[in-house]
Structure 1
Amino acid sequence: MAETPVKEGSQSEENWTEVIEPRSGLLELGLQEVWRYRDLVLLFVRRDFVSTYKQTVLGPLWFFIQPLLTALTFIIIFGNVAKIPTGGQPMLVFYLAGITVWNYFAQTLTSTATVFTVNAQIFGKVYFPRLTMPLSIVLSNMVRFAIQFALFLVVWLYYYFTEDTLHPNAVLLLTPFLVILMGLLSLGLGMVFSAMTTKYRDLAMLLTFGVQLLMYATPVIYSMDKLPAKYRWLIVANPLSPIVESFRYAFLGTGLFSWGQLAYSATATLVILLIGTISFNSVQKSFTDTV
């Protein structure tokens, strides 16, 4: 069989399904590429659920048990022993309001902060947009938040129809915005710490301890209107505080709500997200050499 001659200087054309090129911009998120890998994001979300409650007796029931047990602990320690006022609100619904939003922030932050070290083997073997991993963490924890938010609504509706202490207001309409703001804030902080934990593993343990302390600098177990005015600015300086306080104010009608403080939280979130994006993009190029 005669071979077909190849003309000198001609090149065979190859059709590639994926061309991997280095990123040049530190602010480039590559959201278009992430969208093409959306099935992988959903796969990671499913993996998070399966791995979290695999080989557990109660399984997904822990979504409800964990916030309820935490709220009961707060009722005993902070409500009955420390006598921290709840503004005349039922203690269960008061503490659940803070716990529901706090859990979403804390779980997303701690999981995103170790995304490089925990998934180093996957990153080193297979190519996919690195941003898909932290985004999947934000989404999977948002599903968890939705489940715990449903639990909060059940408790809230019970007290709303049985007692005359809850006074919901128009701030309720901001709930989706508050959730998105909290997700972006935890994502930005998580990406900052994920960049640093590639070189300094101790930061992961320090962050776990720091998140526990941060809860006391956030109005989870108290309302900001009960704080002395001279110390209130320290709590307001925490960009998470206006988000938690606005969420509680929307459903319970007690506490403080300020458009200025909420605008400060939104601005701080965007700045932190910007810093996180720069840190994440600068590290993802060479993190396999240090992890």
Structure 2
Amino acid sequence: MNTEENWDIVIKPKKEKYGLNLKEVWQYRDLLLMYINRNITTVYKQTVFGPLWFFIQPIFSTIMYTFVFGGIAGIPTDGIPQPLFYMAGILCWTYFTECLNSSSSTFSGNANVFSKVYFPRLVVPLSGIISNIFKLSIQFFLFFALYIYFVVAKGTPMSINIYALLFPVLIVMLAFLGFAFGIIISSMTVKYRDLTILVAFAVNLWMYATPIIYPLSILKDRFPEWAWLIEYNPLSPIIETFKFGFLGAGEFSWYSLGYSLLFTVVITLFGIRTFNKVERNFVDVV
């Protein structure tokens, strides 16, 4: 009697601690596209201004920063027009936080779906990262339009240099940083829900530890004892490189950018390992 059995599908547990299993994600690419479309179309559904919020938010943020930090506080901007300086920082920071927020709710926000049907869990955070590129594109269009206005209409002496070619690399680094921190937070909040409040508070403080509303140079001059803390912020070299490439202001260093890249790789590997570990039994916890 032949005891061998042939199975069409064999389900095995994951063994890769650091594996993204992108092959399986590709098999579910239709679902990924559906999530991306949902993220874009439903964010401002049933709102008065609809997609115009993609324009309104960065414009009002820039105006507020210009009035408060540039006008009242009088913080210099390395000779760059204040609206342009703040728009550059807002563009990078917003994409990072959007990626972080969309990834940090992977488990808690999709527990009902995950407990009923199987699909690669990474579809959810990856869809957030990709869909946020749409919002980033709109904000970059605003930034470039503002740049043209100051250069052509105002005659402000600025020029885009060769380091602007690093822009795609910077966006990838921002995406992976947001993704890594997001999935770590998502894994931790499976058991400890109150961490969500702490994380929201920490992200707000993180913005002030990043050279968005002030140049890194002014911090070194006025508060040299705290400058090292800002320099070792992995977001600082990314934002400074963006400003240096497009505005000719800020500080650029291959060493600093290399440190940020190394930090991104390490935290991403740690995040993937944590995510894969929690993924196995999080349904029993939530």
TM-score range, shorter chain: over 0.9
CA contact (8 A) 1:114 1:204 kept: no
Aligned to 1:235: 230
Deviation at 1:207, TM superposition (A): 1.1
CA deviations on 1:154-202 (whole Å, 9 max, x unpaired) are 1112112232332321110100000001101111111111110100111
1:21 maps to what in 2? 12
Q: Of the candidates 179, 182, 189, which is equivalent to residue 187 of structure 1?
A: 179
Q: 1:121 aligns with which of 112, 118, 122?
A: 112
Unaligned runs of 5+ in 1: 1-7
C-alpha separation in 1, matches of 2:249 and 2:16 = 45
Shift of 1:29: 1.3
Q: Which amino acid aligns with 1:279?
A: T
Q: 1:195 to 1:12 in 2, by over 3 A?
A: closer
SS at match of 2:115: helix
| SS of structure 2 residue aligned to 1:159 | helix
Letter in 2 for 1:97: A
Scaled by the length of structure 1, the TM-score of the pair is 0.93
Unaligned runs of 5+ residues in structure 2 are none
Partner letter of residue 208 of structure 1?
A
CA shift for structure 1 position 15: 4.0
Partner of 2:285: 290
Deviations 1:181-228 (A, max 9, x none): 110111111111111010011111211111111000000101101112
- Quote the residue 2:202 is aligned against: 210
RMSD (CA atoms): 1.5
Match of 2:131 in 1: 140
Which position in structure 2 is the counterpart of 1:172? 164
Equivalent position amino acid for 1:269 in 2: T
Q: Is the 8 A contact 2:88 2:243 kept in 1?
A: yes
SS in 2 for 1:50: helix
Flag the 1:14–1:269 CA change in 2: closer, same or farther, 3 A: closer
CA deviation after TM superposition for structure 1 residue 11, in Å: 7.7
Question: Residue 21 of structure 1: CA displacement?
Answer: 2.2
Q: Does 1:250 align with 2:245?
A: yes
Q: Runs of at least 4 residues of structure 1 off by over 3 A? A: 8-16
SS of residue matched to 2:177: helix
Matches within 5 A, 1:265-280: 265-280=260-275
Please report the TM-score for the alignment, with normalisation by the length of structure 2. Answer: 0.95
Matches of 1:197 and 1:142, distance apart in 2? 26
Question: Would the alpha carbon gap of residues 80 and 97 (structure 1) be closer, same or farther in structure 2, given more than 3 Å must change?
Answer: same
C-alpha distance in structure 2 between counterparts of 1:212 and 1:258, whole Å: 26
Give the equivalent residue in structure 1 for 2:256. Answer: 261
Which amino acid in structure 2 is aligned with residue 46 of structure 1?
N
Separation in structure 1 between the aligned mates of residue 258 and residue 208 of structure 2, nearest angstrom:
22
What's the counterpart of residue 5 of structure 1? none
What is the aligned partner in structure 2 of residue 4 from structure 1?
none
Partner of 2:276: 281
After superposition, the Cα gap between the structure-2 partners of 1:192 and 1:10, relative to the gap in structure 1 and judged at 3 Å, is closer
Q: 1:24 Cα deviation (Å)? A: 1.2
Match of 1:223 in 2: 215
In the TM superposition, residue 51 of structure 1 has moved relative to its aligned partner by 2.3
Other-structure match for 2:58: 67
Residues 102, 129 of structure 2: 8 Å contact kept: no
Output the CA distance in 2 between the equivalents of 1:243 and 1:272: 16
In the alignment, does 2:70 pair up with 1:79? yes
How far did 1:9 drift?
4.6
Cα offset, 1:38, TM superposition = 1.2
Match of 1:57 in 2: 48
